[in-house]
């Protein structure tokens, strides 16, 4: 792993090396950006979201038929809701819709006749009375039974096995999701190669901790630590920044409500922060490949998929061919290992609309249902696609990550067909001063923490 | 004085094997020979009506997904992509009339301002 080799000579405090300076060549890895499907070619926001649901159901139906046949036998009868008779036991494939009383609704907010107060923002919008409805191409039916309401979310494609009772409700005896898609065979590098995942740099807040960030940059670029550290740092082939490089406070909402003549001369809060970010990125990309994903608070479009930040925002960093701005979600092949991840909006949204608490659990859920962001476009903003749903998992990634999560967690998920995926939740750098190192050879990961504060006096500076 | 009959002036001509209705049709037919331009526009109008009816039926077929907000060709190609086998003659109809909104856009096209 990245940790120092015990056989390696060298301590932090030692005399300057004499003679020739040690030089470490940065390791190289093959790279292919596979995010083409997340880059919008046209921007037509006039369409309805019915298309994306229709396309999602079509695209996933074949996979669910396959999964259903494997689970309940080849001769299981798969029907549409319109063909189903009451009391007949069969399999129905459709999209889940979770009816939630507490779900914020624009119609409720503007219904002034009732004199209702605007709905308060909540951490979670679930309640016990929530219920599930299954929709196929033309019809819908209420679900009861084995499928857990609280952990399910709207937009998931599911196959349910059961029968409709006299009251018209479908009694679910069993259910299944699409099988984990096939995984490309791993051609991992023979030596240790690392990819750094970091998120929420949070530049631009009032209590910036730029020293920690500078330490991280110095460590990656090999200007920190002893020879052993520098040797390890040379094996870092790529840095992926998973969103929220800027702090939330840089989003100046005032200018939207204030009159134009009042805010004419005020510069946007993000301008200074972007300059600082550009400075850090220039240092990093002078040494290593950097992929910058946009996040919730970055100056990018709001709806998923978020488009790459414009190159003009980084006049200094963009001079390097190693600096890449990429979309969110982002998929890439680094040294034969397929990375797929988001800046965390999909996980945060499922957190709000289900009883699931743990972000790693939620991340795993999105992988098992075969869809990166099932709640888009219902509660998570999404572009109104009409001929494809880019969030469907077409192949199983080797590393699947979500940025901007509370703490670092990781897990190896094993699929039925020998798939092996590393799930990682990337912590917020601005709060934890830590990032994640993924070893491409072993597919293991570890946390790298940079501390730049005097911790109650006893532990000065460690990295 | 014997009564004058109209047939005295206009001789009643009865040709064998022809009823009056057919005569009228023949008249129309002979007229149409005289003015071909008008007849083709009639036929074209008729053709257009049947085409539009066919296209509307395509729009209303739920097997090919929602139709509002996208062009008919986009919808046809999407259905094809997902293996729904949309009828080929519909595609031909749309492709032959690419400048005509009534052919290229779905039947709710007039309501797009309300979206």
Where in chain B are the domains? 46-114
pLDDT for the residue A461 = 44
pLDDT of B39 strictly over 80: no
> Is B65–A51 a contact, with Cβ atoms under 8 angstroms apart?
yes
Give me the residues of B, 26-45, that contact A with CB < 8 A.
Answer: none
pLDDT of B24 strictly over 80: no
Q: What is the pLDDT of residues A335-366, one digit of tens each?
A: 889 999 999 999 999 999 998 889 999 999 99
pLDDT for the residue A13 = 65
Q: What is the pLDDT of residues A442-460, one digit of tens each?
A: 888 899 888 876 655 444 4
Place of tokens 């056989």: A7
Model-level pTM? Answer: 0.82
List domains and CATH numbers for chain A: 31-41+182-449 (3.60.21.50), 49-108+120-176 (2.40.50.430)
Overall average pLDDT of the A177-184 stretch: 87
pLDDT for the residue A197 = 93
> Is B68–A50 a contact, with Cβ atoms under 8 angstroms apart?
yes
> Is B78–A386 a contact, with Cβ atoms under 8 angstroms apart?
yes
pLDDT for the residue A101 = 84
pLDDT of B2 strictly over 70: no
pLDDT of A400 strictly over 90: yes
A–B CB contacts, 8 A cutoff, strictly below = 38
Q: How far is A387 from chain B (nearest CA, A)?
A: 6
Phi, psi values for residue A20, rounded to 5° = -70, 145
pLDDT for the residue A330 = 93
Nearest to A50 among B66, B82, B112 (CB): B66
Q: Is the peptide bond before A305 cis (omega within 30 degrees of 0)?
A: yes
**Nearest chain B residue to A44, by CA:** B69
Overall average pLDDT of the B48-61 stretch: 86
Overall average pLDDT of the B45-63 stretch: 86
pLDDT for the residue B4 = 73
Of the pLDDT bands very low, low, confident and very high (cuts 50, 70, 90), residue B27 is low
Q: Which of A108-112, A144-148, A170-174, A405-409 has the lowest mean pLDDT?
A: A108-112
> What ipTM was predicted for this assembly?
0.75
pLDDT of A252 strictly over 80: no
Overall average pLDDT of the A76-99 stretch: 88
Q: How far is A258 from chain B (nearest CA, A)?
A: 29
pLDDT of A51 strictly over 80: yes
Q: Is B23 on the interface with A (CB under 8 A)?
A: no
* Per-state percent for chain B, helix, strand, coil, to nearest 5: 65, 0, 35
pLDDT for the residue A416 = 83
> Is A48–B69 a contact, with Cβ atoms under 8 angstroms apart?
yes
Q: Which residues in A lie closer than 8 A to residue B69 (C-beta atoms)? A: 46-48, 51, 384, 386
What's the mean pLDDT when you consider all of chain A? 85
What's the mean pLDDT when you consider all of chain B? 75
pLDDT for the residue A340 = 93
pLDDT for the residue A9 = 53
Give me the residues of B, 73-112, that contact A with CB < 8 A.
Answer: 74, 77-78, 81-84, 112
Q: Which of A108-112, A444-448, B60-64 has the lowest mean pLDDT?
A: A108-112
Q: Is A54 on the interface with B (CB under 8 A)?
A: yes
Q: How far is B50 from chain A (nearest CA, A)?
A: 27
> Is A48–B74 a contact, with Cβ atoms under 8 angstroms apart?
no
Residues sharing a CB contact under 8 Å with residue A305, sequence separation 6 or more, in sequence order: A38, A39, A40, A327, A328, A329, A382, A383, A390
Q: Is A58 on the interface with B (CB under 8 A)?
A: yes
pLDDT for the residue B51 = 86
Q: Which residues in A lie closer than 8 A to residue B76 (C-beta atoms)? A: none
Q: Which residues in B lie closer than 8 A to residue A48 (C-beta atoms)? A: 66, 68-69, 115
Q: Which residues in A lie closer than 8 A to residue B81 (C-beta atoms)? A: 387
Asked whether A334 and A37 are in contact (CB, 8 A), the reply is no
User: How far, in Å, CA of B23 to CA of A50, rounded?
Assistant: 57
> Is A48–B84 a contact, with Cβ atoms under 8 angstroms apart?
no
Residues in chain A: 463
Overall average pLDDT of the A269-273 stretch: 79
pLDDT of B83 strictly over 70: yes
A353: tokens are 């609309």
Overall average pLDDT of the B21-50 stretch: 64
* Percent of chain B whose pLDDT exceeds 90: 0
pLDDT of A367 strictly over 80: yes
Q: Is A48 on the interface with B (CB under 8 A)?
A: yes
Q: How far is A59 from chain B (nearest CA, A)?
A: 7
DSSP secondary-structure letter at B67?
A: -
Pairing of strands A194-198, A236-242: parallel
User: How far, in Å, CA of B65 to CA of A51, rounded?
Assistant: 7
A144 against A454, higher pLDDT: A144
């Amino acid at each position: 792993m990245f940790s120092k080799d015990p056989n390696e000579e060298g301590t932090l405090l030692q005399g300057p090396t004499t003679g020739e300076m040690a030089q470490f060549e940065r390791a190289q890895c093959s790279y292919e950006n596979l995010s083409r499907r997340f880059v919008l070619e046209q921007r037509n926001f006039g369409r309805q979201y019915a298309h994306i649901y229709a396309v999602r159901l079509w695209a996933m139906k074949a996979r669910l038929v396959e999964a259903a046949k494997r689970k309940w036998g080849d001769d299981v009868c798969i029907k549409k809701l319109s063909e189903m008779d009451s009391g007949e036991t069969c399999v129905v494939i459709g999209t889940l819709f979770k009816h939630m009383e507490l779900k914020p609704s624009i119609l409720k907010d503007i219904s002034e006749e009732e004199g209702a107060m605007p709905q308060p923002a909540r951490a979670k919008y679930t309640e016990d009375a929530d219920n599930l409805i299954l929709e196929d191409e033309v019809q819908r039916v209420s679900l009861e039974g084995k499928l857990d309401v609280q952990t399910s979310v709207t937009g998931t494609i599911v196959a349910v096995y059961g029968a409709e009772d006299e009251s018209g409700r479908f009694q679910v005896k069993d259910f299944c999701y699409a099988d984990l898609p096939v995984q490309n065979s791993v051609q991992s590098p023979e030596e240790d190669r690392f990819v750094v995942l970091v998120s929420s740099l949070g530049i631009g807040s009032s209590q910036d901790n730029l020293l920690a960030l500078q330490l991280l940059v110095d460590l990656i670029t090999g200007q920190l630590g002893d020879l052993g550290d520098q040797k390890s740092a040379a094996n870092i082939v790529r840095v992926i920044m998973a969103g929220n490089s800027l702090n939330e406070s840089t989003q100046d909402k005032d200018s939207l409500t204030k009159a134009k003549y009042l805010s004419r001369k005020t510069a946007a809060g993000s301008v200074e922060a972007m300059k600082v970010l550009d400075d850090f990125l220039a240092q990093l990309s002078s040494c290593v490949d950097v992929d910058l994903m946009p996040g919730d608070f970055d100056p990018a479009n709001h709806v998923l998929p978020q488009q790459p930040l414009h190159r003009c925002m980084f006049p200094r960093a963009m001079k390097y061919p190693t600096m890449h701005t990429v979309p969110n979600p982002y998929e890439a092949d680094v040294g034969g290992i397929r990375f797929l991840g988001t800046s965390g909006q999909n996980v945060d949204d499922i957190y709000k609309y289900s009883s699931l608490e743990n972000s790693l659990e939620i991340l795993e859920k999105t992988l098992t249902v075969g869809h990166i962001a099932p709640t888009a476009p219902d509660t998570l903003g999404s572009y109104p696609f009409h001929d494809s749903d880019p969030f469907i998992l077409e192949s199983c990634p080797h590393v699947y990550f979500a940025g901007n999560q509370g703490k670092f967690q990781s897990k190896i998920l094993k699929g039925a067909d020998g798939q092996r995926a590393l799930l990682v939740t990337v912590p917020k750098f601005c709060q934890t001063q830590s990032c994640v190192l993924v070893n491409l050879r072993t597919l293991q990961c570890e946390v790298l923490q940079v501390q730049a504060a005097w911790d109650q006096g006893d532990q000065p500076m460690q990295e | 004085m014997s009564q004058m009959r109209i047939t005295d002036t206009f001789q009643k001509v009865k040709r064998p094997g022809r009823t009056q209705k057919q005569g009228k049709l023949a008249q129309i037919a002979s007229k149409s020979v005289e003015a071909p331009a008008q007849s083709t526009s009639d036929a074209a109008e008729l053709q257009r009506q049947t085409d539009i009816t066919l296209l509307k039926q395509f729009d209303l077929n739920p097997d090919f997904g929602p139709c509002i907000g996208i062009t008919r060709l986009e919808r046809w190609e999407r259905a094809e992509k997902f293996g729904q086998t949309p009828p080929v003659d519909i595609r031909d109809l749309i492709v032959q009339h690419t400048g005509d909104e009534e052919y290229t856009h779905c039947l709710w096209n007039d309501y797009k301002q309300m979206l």
